[in-house]
Structures are given as structure tokens and as C-alpha cells.
Amino acid sequence: MNAAHDRFATWDAAYALGALSAPDRAEYEAHLEICPVCRDDVAELVPAAGLLSRLSTEQANAIDAPGEADAAEATTDAGRKLTEIARARRRRRRRVTWAAVGVAAALAVVVPVSIVAGAPRPTMEVALEQVIDAPVSATVALTSVAWGTRIDMACDYAADAPDAGWAYVLAVVGVDGATTELSTWSAEPGRTARLSAGTALPLDEIRAVEIRTDTGEVLLRREIG
């Protein structure tokens, strides 16, 4: 480990939750390109992060500062679980690191290491297509990152639609047919919901992106590739 890694060592939970600011997120993603340890941390946290989409704004703001008490203690069971996962990984890594140091000292082995930053990843932006008649439309941008795929969504709810606070779910379907729910939100007439989510699936292993009701009915869908 080095000083650069130490600076980002506790950003994983905040990043997996989409709680980093845009500049911090870009800086952390650049670090992920050259740090396999942090890539592994994020890949493990991303699936659990989907559980936190039900946090209130106040609760989400509590984890907005990277590096402060493991991105702050979340106030839900899911939040505590994500924090526990991040801390457990760091404890295991420290034990493995010290064991490796002891072996290396005993064997006096020097291994040259070369790290080359990866090339910029492509981004695909698509509009989702209606499956049934519904007062919603959405676009998603899918970005290949070191740990899988980041998905940035903008979902519009018609101004003249019923004011019922409908709950929606962002989901991805893998090439194996398995569906993973990434995030949920409540719609407001005439408003645009924007969110960032992630999946450990590489872009080429995503068959489709969907927006569903909270009961599982597919409203919008777009085949990928």
C-alpha cells in the first residue's frame, strides 16, 4: 500500500452508494483503474449498495463525506451491513498484508511490479422503450468501470400524471436471464428523477435495462447490444 491508496481506502462505501460528489467520483474512478485492491472492495460492495436506495435524503447526506468514519454510520440495517462489509474487507486485507510482509522478509524476494493505467472506457447512452402505457420515460448512460458497470439514469414523470407517489425500480437483466434490482425511488408529477447506481456485471454481460413498478411489472425496457 502507498499514500495514494491510503487516501482512498475508505471511499468504497460512499462510492458504491453514489454518495460522492462528481469531482470525487471521477478522482476515485481514476484511482480504481490502477488499484486492484480498491476495485475488489467496490465489486463486493456494489450488490449490497442496492439495498440502500430506500435511505432518506438526510440519511444519504450523512455518508456524503468520503473517508470520515467509513463514510459515516448508516442508520438502517442495510447501511450497517454495508459498513460491516467494508470494514471486514479492510481487516482481512491488513492481516494478509502483514503475513505477506513476513514471508517476503524471510525469503528476501524482490518482485518488480508495473502498473499501467487503463484506457478510457466507452459510455453508451440509450432511451428506454415503453413496454406498457405509463406516464414515464427514461434515459440511461452505461459506463464500463473497473468494478463492473455504472448506470446513470434520468426518469421523467408526466406533469398531468396522477399524484400518487408511485415507486419505481431500476433493474438490469444479465445475459444469463437473472434480474438484479439496483435502486428504487418515488415519482413526482412533472419532475425528473436522477440517480447513479452500479452493478458488478461488465457491460457486455448486461442483456437489458428495465424500469419496473415496486410490484415487479416492467414499464420500460431497453435491450443492450
75-104 pLDDT per residue, tens: 444 455 555 656 666 665 555 444 444 444
Whether 100 is covered by a domain: the verdict is yes
**Residues 99, 128: one domain?**
no
CATH of the domain at 20: 1.10.10.1320
**Residues 129, 88: one domain?**
no
What does the pLDDT read at residue 205? 94
Is-contact 211 140, C-beta < 8 A? no
> Of 40, 72, 107, which marks where a domain is finished?
107
The cell for 138 is 427514461
**Residues 167, 137: one domain?**
yes
CATH of the domain at 197: 2.60.40.200
180-211 pLDDT per residue, tens: 999 999 888 888 889 889 999 999 999 999 99
Q: Report the C-alpha gap between 5 and 38 in whole angstroms.
A: 8
**Residues 129, 212: one domain?**
yes
**H-helix or E-strand spanning residue 142:** strand 136-145
What does the pLDDT read at residue 88? 62
Domain range enclosing 16: 3-107
Q: Tell me the pLDDT band of 169, cut-offs 50, 70 and 90.
A: very high
Q: Tell me the pLDDT band of 60, cut-offs 50, 70 and 90.
A: very low
pLDDT over 80 at 221, yes or no: yes
Whether 117 is covered by a domain: the verdict is no
Name the range with the highest mean pLDDT among 15-29, 45-59, 162-176.
162-176
- For 200, how many CA atoms within 13 A lie in the half-sphere containing its CB? 12
Residues 6+ away with beta carbon under 8 Å from 201: 148, 149, 172, 174, 180
**Residues 8, 98: one domain?**
yes
Q: For the chain, how many structural domains are there in total?
A: 2
Q: Tell me the pLDDT band of 121, cut-offs 50, 70 and 90.
A: low
Q: Report the C-alpha gap between 215 and 112 in whole angstroms.
A: 54
Whether 90 is covered by a domain: the verdict is yes
Q: Could you give the residue ranges of the DSSP H alpha helices within the chain?
A: 3-8, 12-16, 22-34, 36-49, 57-61, 77-107
What does the pLDDT read at residue 10? 78
What's the whole-number mean pLDDT along residues 102-112?
Answer: 40
Whether 67 is covered by a domain: the verdict is yes
CA dihedral 88, 31, 140, 199 (to 10 degrees): -30
> Of 107, 142, 168, which marks where a domain is finished?
107
Whether 115 is covered by a domain: the verdict is no
Strand arrangement of the beta sheet that strand 136-145 belongs to? 123-127, 136-145, 148-157, 192-199
What does the pLDDT read at residue 66? 47
What does the pLDDT read at residue 81? 55
3-41 pLDDT per residue, tens: 667 788 777 777 776 667 778 888 888 888 888 788 777
pTM over 0.75: no
